[in-house]
Structure 1
Amino acid sequence: MSTVAARDDLQDAAELVRYGCRPRLRPLSDARYHDLLQRYRMDKGFRDRVEAIGQGLGVQVIAAHTQEGLVLHALDGGLFTYRIKHDLKRSAERRLILGLVHIAIAARVYPTEHDLEDETVKRISVGEVDAFLRHLVEQLREASKDADGLPVPEAAVDAVWRMYAMRPPAKPTAARRGVTQTSTQSVIAEALEWLVHQGMALPAPEFGPGHYRLLHRFRLQVSEAAAMPAFVTLRDIRRAQDAGMAAPTDTEEM
């Protein structure tokens, strides 16, 4: 390969990574993106260069999906790493609850390893997540008592669910055009809208207000974090809830 060809090849690889950093862009709507993605899938040398550039920028390529494009996962400490705790625009309490909500969404729709491997699109609603977290609160409240029924000294996680339990599920605004920022459902809606902005979800208003589809990109990101202790705990509670209620999550074919 000539020097000019090698330079052009690296530029193409970097361009594909740039496309991957725009998660809402779809390759089917951009011919250049589609061609580069196909090249990544077919040409091992080009694929290696794309992944090396990604690693240098602090992102890992976890999929090249024909519909959703190049799926990147931010590596710890990398340029694109996002931490809710670093978002100083929100109060510390709201950031903690947002973190709990994000984990709950994942645990609600992917309670087993099989679910994480299943490519069917999952549907979820604000109300469904809130009901799951209310169930979680009751489980943790029971677990926080010792054999004599006395509260056990709080662990770090206790503070989060106690904050959640103190908030109303849905408190209408004065104009009755939504719910107040202090309600749990407003936090859940914020988390789901953030997933939409990141290209991991789509609104599904045809199923009613507050309904969303969780996309392939979200499932892959959850797979990368599946060993996180908090996720494992919530997923165990979700499986136990299913065993008692026999209420599977709605799914639809891709």
Structure 2
Amino acid sequence: MAVMSRLRFVILFTITLLFSLCGSSMVVEGREGGWPVFLVFSSIAFILVTVRFPPKPTLEKSVSIIDAYPEPVTLVGQRRRNMLVAVASGVLASMPIALLLTTPFSGDSIAHLIFSTIFGVPALVLAAAAIRPNRLTLDSEGMKLTTLRSTKRWRWRDVDEFTPVASVTRGAKVIPVRQIIGFNDRNAKKPGRLALQSGKNSIFANQFAVSDQELALALNFWRRRAVPG
């Protein structure tokens, strides 16, 4: 996940907050269109805050992962955050549809439907991710990552050191990122673009309420214990 700069966050959040306040003023004054304006920009502000400030990981989580060796342990993705963002995206997606149902047909109908699709699809994906979050299972042989789309398994002897990915390179531009763990897999056939930009041939998203550094530490502990020397 790319890290939003503080300046960009402040600018975007200030703009959305101002529009949200304008919407609330319209609601208080009984003016038409106040509720849509208030709900849309309040939802955008909520999404910005949620993305910019993810929940703080706990050290106890990584310690329990290490202590569990060699018994299998499964880490489950964060349901609450995905559901909250899904609800906010759903509000954004429903506004144009509500306007279409309450106003006469106009030439802007296509634009309303496009807007609903842009926010509706992420809302459905995030809701599905909240119902069936990513799972990372560790055992003495390797690790298995289960997502909505696929299941991948790596053996400890086929991977090297796990490292937190702090940035990716696109041409001459360095983009700071977070919640990504990188490693090299000797059996990787075709690394993805983001993996190559990170300097590794394999990566996965860290959605498990533990910091990137602590998760990489725990994974390296399991790998060293399973493949000594």
What is the TM-score with the length of structure 2 in the denominator? 0.25
Which structure shows the higher strand fraction?
2
